[in-house]
């Protein structure tokens, strides 16, 4: 069975005597199960020499999940008021895994925050808050944070024909579920923008080397379940991972 390495996130204890836990959202794991893969959720940690390889040796692919913001110091900025939830150990852990996965030609699917980590890892930077950055003329329709339990809003995504993403999705137009306030600004080295929203928000990037894709929307989100392209994306990722390193 194809094994996918999934960095989990540390959750603090909220009761006396309770220990911190490591978690990965069930929706992310569910799309992997539907694709026939098994997840390997790992806790963030300091990776010394060979540490990233030690983890990647046990897996066939790497999937990065959504979550809070990346430390702006990683792209040379101070945090803005809207920046939240930074866990530098998490950032460093995921970036180290990404570098080695790309070097090993291991398939990677990076979702939402994961795509932003991919961009920063490759030397790019981010709009820390799209609404307050002044770059976009308006706050994109898909960006308001939903209330707990509410479905994420859907945004139309236009995909470049002929790219790996279009082949994986089986389409060049779809609606993606969003819940984020940051976005790719300067694109990292080796990355190409392969999808955008109508307001210019970068919706997907892919690396020139191997099957390494990042998407800003949430293909695992139930609000997008009416579009089978989202599951096809994960199915293709798992298929590439199962085919071994270097699958085109």
Is residue 220 flagged as an active site residue?
yes
Determine the Cα–Cα distance for residues 129 and 126; give it in Å rounded to an integer: 9
Q: Provide the sign of the torsion angle of the four alpha carbons 211, 212, 213, 219, taken in this order.
A: positive
Residue 42's DSSP bridge partners are 7
Task: Find tokens 């040379």 and name the residue.
Answer: 76
Task: Find tokens 């046990």 and name the residue.
Answer: 58
| Secondary structure of residue 181 in the 3-state scheme | coil
Q: What tokens does 238 get? A: 């798992």
Catalytic residue, from 94, 112, 178, 230: name it.
112
In this structure, are residues 155 and 136 in contact, taking their beta carbons and an 8 Å threshold?
no
Catalytic residue, from 127, 207, 218, 230: name it.
218
Catalytic residue, from 39, 94, 206, 220: name it.
220
Categorise residue 54: left if φ over 0, alpha if ψ from -120 to 50, beta otherwise.
Answer: alpha
Nearest CA among 24, 1, 2, 20 for reference residue 11:
20
Nearest CA among 137, 93, 115, 141 for reference residue 202:
115
What positions carry a catalytic annotation?
Answer: 112, 218, 220
């Amino acid at each position: 069975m194809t094994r996918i390495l999934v960095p989990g996130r540390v959750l603090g204890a909220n009761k006396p005597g309770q220990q911190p836990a490591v978690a990965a959202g069930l929706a992310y794991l569910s799309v992997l199960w539907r694709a026939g893969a098994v997840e390997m959720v790992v806790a963030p940690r300091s990776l010394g020499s060979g540490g990233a390889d030690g983890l990647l040796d046990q897996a066939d692919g790497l999937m990065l999940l959504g979550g809070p913001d990346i430390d702006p110091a990683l792209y040379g900025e101070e945090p803005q008021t809207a920046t939240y939830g930074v866990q530098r150990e998490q950032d460093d852990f995921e970036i180290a895994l990404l570098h080695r996965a790309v070097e090993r030609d291991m398939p990677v699917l990076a979702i939402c925050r994961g795509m932003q980590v991919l961009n920063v890892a490759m030397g790019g930077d981010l709009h820390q808050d799209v609404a307050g950055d002044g770059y976009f003329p308006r706050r994109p329709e898909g960006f308001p944070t939903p209330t707990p339990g509410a479905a994420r809003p859907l945004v139309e995504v236009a995909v470049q024909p002929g790219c790996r993403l279009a082949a994986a999705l089986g389409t060049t137009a779809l609606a993606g579920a969003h819940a984020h306030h940051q976005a790719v600004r300067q694109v990292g080295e080796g990355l190409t923008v392969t999808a955008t929203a109508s307001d210019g928000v970068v919706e997907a990037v892919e690396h020139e080397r191997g099957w390494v894709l990042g998407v800003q929307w949430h293909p695992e989100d139930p609000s997008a379940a009416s579009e089978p392209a989202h599951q096809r994306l994960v199915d293709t990722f798992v298929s590439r991972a199962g085919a071994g390193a270097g699958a085109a």
